[in-house]
Amino acid sequence: MHRIEFWRDIHTKLGDFRLAIDSDGGLHTGWKSIGQHPAGGCHAPTLREDIAQWVRGYLDGLVEPPPPFDIPSATPFRGRCLEACRRLPPGITISYSQLAELAGSPSAARAAGSAMRHNATPLLIPCHRVIRSSGEPGGFAGRNTHDDPAVMLKMRLQELEAPSDV
């Protein structure tokens, strides 16, 4: 893993969200409120303003694809899982088994879960859209109890994307 070079925090209604760039140019993100954010490097208050604006808009209901960014390096299977997850449309959830199938390894549901656990770019790569086959949310940021703030954040992100009844 490459070290974090630059970072900035974005204040949102769901807590502070950190953007960071590693020494290879890969983007890292995370929620400070759940203790899952990239650390190190130098503060850069205007870092990736395009993504900062996207994050704010997204959390205010403007669900559109994020600006282009480089995914941090990963193993081949994890990379395929991240790319498959990146393509999931808002408001859609799939199971870890379905993600493994999209990544080319249908029997690797646990490995797909691990790939989501190690997603260095949550929200932009929407791992909150991957759930257990039972329909339960599963884990988020390495935690998996329903009352954990991380899992509650995952469910809140799903709620933000849910189609509204008209």
Q: Distance between CA 100 and CA 23 in Å, rounded?
A: 29
Catalytic residue among 42, 81, 85, 127: 127
Q: Distance between CA 158 and CA 55 in Å, rounded?
A: 15
Whether 34 and 150 have beta carbons less than 8 Å apart is answered as: yes
Is the C-alpha dihedral spanning 136, 142, 147, 153 positive or negative? negative
Q: If you ran DSSP here, which 8-state letter would residue 165 be given?
A: P
**81 noted as active-site residue:** no
Reported as half-sphere exposure (CB side, CA atoms, 13 A), residue 40 has a value of 10
Paired tokens of 66 = 């994020």
Active site residues: 127
